[in-house]
Amino acid sequence: MAVIAVGVDHEHASLDLLERVSIPEHRWGKVLRELVSHRNIHEAVFVSTCLRTEVIATIDFFHSAIEDVTRTLAVASGVDEAELGELVTVSFDRGVARHLFEVAAGLRSVVPGEYEVLGQLRRALEVAEEESTAGPELVELFHRALASGRRVRAETAIARGTTSFASAAVALALEGVGDEIAGAPVVVVGAGQLASGVARSLVGLHPPIGELVIVNRTAARAEALADSLEDPRVSVAGLEALPELLTRARLAVVAAETAGPLVTVEHQRAVTGPLLLVDLGLPRAVAPADAAGVRRLDLDDLRERVDAALVGRREAVGHARSMVEADVDHYLEDRRSRGASPVVRALRERFDEIVATELARRAGELGEWSPDQRDQLSSVVRSVVAKIAHRPTAVLKEAAGSEHGVRLSDSLRTLFDL
């Protein structure tokens, strides 16, 4: 079996396409079940975040696997298969490991080194394990990638400064409102991981904000977040209160998973004072609108700001890439050893069985040979067989983990009935 990654991400696709292909978590299970229903796909993990939607899978045949994954994503998202097929990026075998390790390290993120991606990958694996679509191969790959990502952040400067979407979004918002944030009312829509990071950044600002209202569909989650902040300025409200809250807020950050805009055109046109809306949703959570006094920023604006701030961190990014490459090499070396071991062991056992069977069958022909002579004959025969087996097993170990290695393993199993 080989490993493949197929999907779309912010480096190669537009925000519009990413928005349309994004799939909420409650539907991941169905996507995973559909993926492994294909005979060509054995294991699958589905990753869907605001900046990437992709599948990592173990497969038999490369080209048909791309078609199976692309078709599944097209059906699940409602995006035309032909359109999606033109924009998907594909990684294979070693490229999959490098890709996933770089994603875990934050090297493929809008904010290099950001931490949220580790939680996103961990959750994707958890869902796949719950659905029984992640087997030993992908579980090991994800665990090693997550461990590498943590090590990169601990041992390089890539995690210095603004290292999360949340903190970068708040920094972007501060550029938009300036000193007007002091004592101002602020709204955060959402209560998940991203919204939590935004809220924590906001309550820690200096000069301080006036009040923070957390708006969420589920009151219990909003209240749990508010309690964790331990700040008397924080309160909670339901979505029905959002229109009124926007009319008196100076800043609103929308970081919620939604099938459509939570902040509508009508909401924005009802605002009379200056309001900055920061839309971190994908699909977009703030409808485009031409409303006086309302300014809107989104993920494209965040990406531009981070690109400008990266100038002084190129060395740290280079160091991180070197560490990731070394971790990928170690992982693949371990994978090659694991992949070759069962076939090598079976081949050696088959050769030992043949030698033992033939020596036992021909024992009567050895006549008056002494036990020492018989042992010497057995030693010579086994030594010759070991030398014959050496080259095939060495080549198999070198090729293990690759498509060529798969073909060699299949050939050995067929030739020697392993």
Residue range 145-197, pLDDT digits in tens: 999 999 998 888 787 665 567 777 888 888 888 888 999 999 999 887 778 88
Q: What percent of the chain has pLDDT over 70?
A: 93
Characterize 369-390 residue by residue with b for buried, 16 or more Cβ atoms within 10 angstroms of its Cβ, and e for exposed.
eeeeeeeeeeeeeeeeeeeebe
Judged against a pLDDT cut of 80, whether residue 307 lies above it is answered with: no
Give the model's pLDDT for residue 186: 96
pLDDT band per the 50, 70, 90 thresholds, residue 310: low
Neighbours of 167 (CB within 10 A): 19
3-state helix, strand, coil in the chain (%, to 5): 60, 15, 25
Dist. CA 181–CA 205, nearest whole Å = 9
**Inter-CA distances, 267 with 181, 215, 216, 283, 299, Å:** 21, 15, 16, 18, 21
Q: What is the mean pLDDT of the chain?
A: 87
pLDDT of residue 338: 66
Q: Quote the tokens at residue 7.
A: 């999907």
- First vs last C-alpha separation in the chain: 17
Geometric angle at alpha carbon 215, from 302 and 49, rounded to 5°: 40
Q: What size, in residues, is the chain?
A: 418
pLDDT band at 3 (very low <50, low <70, confident <90, very high): very high
Spatial strand order of the sheet with 211-215 comes to: 234-237, 211-215, 185-189, 251-254, 275-279, 294-297
Look-up of token digits 């979505």: 239
Distance (Å, rounded) from C-alpha 384 to C-alpha 389?
9
Q: Which candidate in 50, 55, 226, 344 is catalytic? A: 50
Q: Using CA atoms, how far apart are residues 191 and 311, in angstroms rounded to an integer?
A: 33
Encoded amino acid at 164, one letter: S
pLDDT at 404: 76
For residues 185 and 210, is the Cβ–Cβ distance under 8 A? yes
Q: What is the rounded CA–CA span in Å between residue 47 and residue 28?
A: 9
pLDDT at 21: 87
Give the list of residues 6+ apart from residue 27 with CB closer than 8 angstroms, or none: 76
Cα(166)–Cα(22) distance, integer angstroms: 20
In single-letter form, the type of residue at position 390 comes to: H
**Segment (H or E) for 84:** helix 81-87
Flag whether pLDDT at 265 surpasses 90.
Answer: yes
Integer CA distances (angstroms), 9 to 55, 259, 303, 328, in order: 12, 19, 13, 21
Going by C-alpha positions, the residue among 357, 366, 332 that lies closest to residue 140 is 332
pLDDT above 90 as % of the chain: 44
Q: What is the pLDDT of residue 170?
A: 86
* Whether the model pTM is above 0.75: no
- Does 328 or 303 have the greater pLDDT score? 328
133 band by pLDDT with thresholds 50, 70 and 90: very high
The mean per-residue pLDDT over the stretch 28-52 comes to 92
50 an active-site residue? yes
Residue identified by tokens 């950044």 is: 201
| Weakest mean pLDDT among 117-126, 260-269, 349-358 | 349-358
Give 55-94 pLDDT, tens digit per residue.
999 998 888 999 999 999 999 999 999 999 888 999 998 8
Cis amide bond preceding 392, omega within 30 = no
Tokens of 361: 């069958």
- Average pLDDT value for residue range 234-252: 94
SS3 11: coil
Domains in the chain, CATH or no CATH each:
2-161 (3.30.460.30), 165-306 (3.40.50.720), 339-392+406-416 (no CATH)
Q: Long-range CB contacts (< 8 A, 24+ apart) of 300-308? A: 300/15, 301/172, 302/110, 302/111, 302/165, 302/168, 302/169, 302/172, 303/10, 303/110, 305/168, 305/171, 305/172, 305/175, 306/110, 306/111, 306/112, 306/162, 306/168
